[in-house]
Structure 1
Amino acid sequence: MSTTRLSSLLPVLAVLGSVTSLAVGTSFAKQLFPLIGAQGTSALRVGFSALVLLAVFRPWRRATSRADAGAILRYGITLGAMNLLFYMALRTIPFGIAVAIEFCGPLAVAMWSSRRPIDFVWVGCAAAGLLMLLPLGHGEPLDLVGVLYALGAAVCWALYIIFGKRAGHLPAGHTVSLGLCAAALVVVPVGVAHAGMALLDPKILLFGLGVAVVSSSIPMWLEMAALKRLPKETFGILISMEPAVAALLAMGLLAEHLTPLQWAAIGCTVVASIGSTITAKRAPVPVPGAPA
């Protein structure tokens, strides 16, 4: 393989590696739920991720204006709420389905920013997928509370993109590291209140650190590296595979087997995301560090 071809392939592999790493890390995180709950697991993930990225990017070396600090704070609060709500959803609904529902957030932002006739096709596709997943009595109904948590995470993801764009003029590492600190202020107290002293068990702390690195730190680093070398449209198409990748890995790692209708719903979400990315004049792309 030529050097030129390899260099063009590396950012694509970086995005796929990010999606895979996030899904693997989240699948492992579910194994902590019986010990410290979704709240405690989310606290470890966000808390350790913040510490890792603070050490890597050292944001204190750059002055932050009051306006930028406000934008980063809003970005971080929605990031923390998104992570917590998503993990709460994972308690009762399959991983791949939770990701597909959560993807409605960035899809809504992408379509709202364009609102051209072709976008109604993607809106219809996304709506069809969501209707297939809602507990409306067809097939094997999903847990309503889990679905509502996932929808809440979708709303937070949409706000996270909006707030992230307002801090888009800052270096990505600066924004993400400080944003995760703000997210930790939201999530860690909830996790401590729920799990208490169990969070200090050395084995749980070590496992939580591994989850944070695999599901947050590595994906963020890979996405930031890929965004420097990939067109945003290409990045958006590749990241759209996340629900399908999550469902496939959950099937192998968590034994979460979906029905044909649920696979069709995930397919609708992926098609809607890819379609909106391809047809958008300026494809909005989730800010690096998107959860799942």
Structure 2
Amino acid sequence: MTAADRPSGVPGTAPGAGCAADVGHAGADSGTGPAGTGSAGSASGRGRGRMGAFGMVIGSAMSLQFGSAVAALLFPRAGALGVVALRLIFSALLLLAVCRPKLRGHSRKDWTAVIGLGVALGTMNSLFYQAIDRIPLGAAVTLELLGPLVLSVVASRRALSLVWAGLALVGVYLLGAGGFGQLNLAGAAFALGAGAMWTAYIVFNARTGARFPKVDGLALAMGVAAVVSAPLGVVSAGGALLDPVTLGLGAAVAVLSSGLPYTLELFALRRLPAGTFAVLMSLMPVAATAAGFLVLGQSLGLMELLAIALVVAASMGAVRTSSS
């Protein structure tokens, strides 16, 4: 995704603030230079740490979107729903093994939040993979981004937010003017549906994060998402899911789309303010366009590229407005 996998109330924030969040913050945030003395050394250390964090966020976005591109290559083998099932099952196994969340001692409201998050996760990924089976990856991520963008605009309640909403609408109009017939209306509808579920994911993730330590709630929700998606994947792909090559590529997709991004985002969030992180993650459509071009051979015209740029700018503006 997206984000396939993202928490918090702004576009593009990620669920990677993770299982090892209790480890002491070090490096650039410690306020000490290499020798522990001198403001110049401290400032230099913070600068290097922040630049490294920028690289981690960009690496996370590229890994996530290249994972989606590799997933699209698997569609002829197992279908979109089959690949979703593989990705979520492997991601759940990875998160549950690393985080080892407790299953006991949780209230009914705790489990309601987890189940809601898991259903949102499973539905979001299923809709998104249906979208990229029909339209270019960059266009799908651009349309999906509208979900959290709308949530950010509504939550901000500022007049300037309407400007960003208008800019995003212009971008969507240009994307359509470039030929929604070529983009495939069903694919565009699936992407918009994924964006709506991304919004639900953000809401439920906030509730889950408030009730569970670290990202234990996310790990449990990923397990729920895997259970939700598995029957659809089995019905759709059947025995193809047991093919060793398909299983291996499915595991690779889970690492590219979950394991590696979560790890990079975990370390980046220790060094960057949340607002800066969210702005950088708004570049997801750019990463998706690059992955679609390099891995899938998908190219977009100037009109579509301009449309993506406008939606990215609107997302960045909405993040800055809501966090200021």
Same fold, TM exceeding 0.5?
Answer: yes
| Aligned residue-pair number | 281
- What is the RMSD of the two structures over their aligned residues, measured on CA atoms? 1.8
Greater Rg by CA: 2
Report the counterpart of residue 155 of structure 1 in structure 2: 196
Q: How does 1:144-223 map to 2 (within 5 A)?
A: 144-169=185-210, 170-223=212-265
Q: What SS class does the counterpart of residue 50 from structure 2 fall into?
A: helix
Identity %: 42
Cα shift at 1:69: 1.2
Cα 1:62–1:274 shift into 2, 3 Å: farther
Give the Cα–Cα distance (whole angstroms) in 2 for the partners of residues 137 and 258 of structure 1.
9
Q: What SS class does the counterpart of residue 256 from structure 1 fall into?
A: coil
Structure 1 unpaired stretches of 5+: 283-292
Structure 2 unpaired stretches of 5+: 1-40
Report the counterpart of residue 150 of structure 2 in structure 1: 108
Tell me the TM-score normalised to structure 1 length: 0.91
Q: What SS class does the counterpart of residue 92 from structure 1 fall into?
A: coil
Report the counterpart of residue 141 of structure 1 in structure 2: 182
Cα shift at 1:140: 6.2
Question: 1:29 aligned to 2:71?
Answer: yes
Cα shift at 1:249: 2.1
Q: Is the contact made by 1:133 and 1:262 (CA closer than 8 Å) also made in structure 2?
A: yes
TM-superposition CA deviations, 1:48-91 (whole Å, max 9, x none): 00001100000127743221111011011001100000000011
Deviation beyond 4 Å, 4+ runs, structure 1: 136-140
Q: Is the contact made by 2:209 and 2:215 (CA closer than 8 Å) also made in structure 1?
A: no
The equivalent position to 2:161 in structure 1, one of 102, 114, 119, is 119
TM-superposition CA deviations, 1:155-200 (whole Å, max 9, x none): 0001100111112222342022111111112211111110001101
Give the Cα–Cα distance (whole angstroms) in 2 for the partners of residues 264 and 140 of structure 1.
18
Give the Cα–Cα distance (whole angstroms) in 2 for the partners of residues 138 and 54 of structure 1.
43
Q: Is the contact made by 1:172 and 1:224 (CA closer than 8 Å) also made in structure 2?
A: no
Q: Is the contact made by 2:116 and 2:204 (CA closer than 8 Å) also made in structure 1?
A: yes
Report the counterpart of residue 26 of structure 2 in structure 1: none
Q: Is the contact made by 2:241 and 2:247 (CA closer than 8 Å) also made in structure 1?
A: yes
